[in-house]
Amino acid sequence: MRRTIHTNILIITILSLMSSCEDENLNKGFPVPKEGLIAWYPFNGNANDESIFSHHGFVNGAELINDRDGNPESAFSFNGINQRIIIDDHDSLSFENAIFSYSYWVKFSDVINENGSPILCKYKITTNFEYGSYIYQDNTMQFSLLDLNGGCGVQVGHVDDVTDYLSDWHNFIFIADGINGSAIYADGELIDESNANISCVPENGSGDLYFGFGGGWNQQIYFKGQLDDIAFWNRPLTQDEVKKIFKGTGFN
C-alpha cells in the first residue's frame, strides 16, 4: 500500500513536471527573428538593446507605460514636445546598399503635430540623413531613405492615412531590399510595395538614431504617441516572418 502511494505520488510529480515543461514550451521562442538582428528594444523597464550588439537607448524624458498586453513598464509614451530616446551612431545601424528591415508597434495620438510626427529617424540635423518613418500633416505615414550630402531622397513607401489606425496598438514593418525594391506591412498585411530599384542609398552618416524624434534639414520635430518592440535587421524579412512578428508566435 505504501509503495502504491509512493508510486502514485511519483507518477503525479512526473506528470506535473511534464505539463509545466509543455506550458513553458508554448510560451517560449524569441519574439523576433534573430538572424540579422542588429538592434532589439522590447522596452522591458528600460530602452536597452537586447540584441547581441547592446546599442542601448538613452531615455530623454519618454515615460514607461503598460504595453498592449497590460504588462507594466513595457512600452514608452512620448509627449510630442520634448521627449525622445537616443541611440548613439554606430556603423551597424547604417545599412549598405539600402538592404534592411525594421519593425515597431505604435499607438498613435489622435493629434498629429502641426509639423508632422517622426516615429524614428537616423539623422544629423544639418549634416546628413539616413532613414526615417514620419507622419505628415496630411496623415500619410512615409518611409524614407535620404542622403542630404548627396542630395538624393526617396519615399520608398507609405501608409495612405494613419487615422485608419488610430485606436489600439498596430504593428508596422518596413522592408528595404536594395535593387529589388521595398515593402510595407501593417498588422501582418502588405499595404504598399515597389519593385523599383531603391536608387537612393544613404552613406554611413554621423547622426544618432532617435525614437520619437526627427526632422529634415535643420528641423527638430517630436512624436506624440506610444511606441514598443522596435527591431532592426540587416536583411529583408520574409512575409512569413512578418506575419509571425504580428501574431507574436515566437522564433527559435
Binding positions for Ca ion, rule: CB under 5 A: 42-43, 67, 74, 89, 204, 228-229
CB of residue 114 to Ca ion, shortest distance in Å: 29
Distance CA 177, CA 237 (A): 9
CB of residue 126 to Ca ion, shortest distance in Å: 16
CB of residue 74 to Ca ion, shortest distance in Å: 4
Distance CA 47, CA 88 (A): 13
Based on CB atoms, which residue is closest to Ca ion, 43 or 223?
43
How many Cα atoms occupy the beta-carbon half-sphere of 230 within 13 Å?
27
Based on CB atoms, which residue is closest to Ca ion, 40 or 158?
40
Based on CB atoms, which residue is closest to Ca ion, 90 or 235?
90
65: cell is 507605460
Based on CB atoms, which residue is closest to Ca ion, 16 or 127?
127
CB of residue 35 to Ca ion, shortest distance in Å: 21
CB of residue 31 to Ca ion, shortest distance in Å: 9
CB-closest chain residue to Ca ion: 74
Based on CB atoms, which residue is closest to Ca ion, 43 or 108?
43
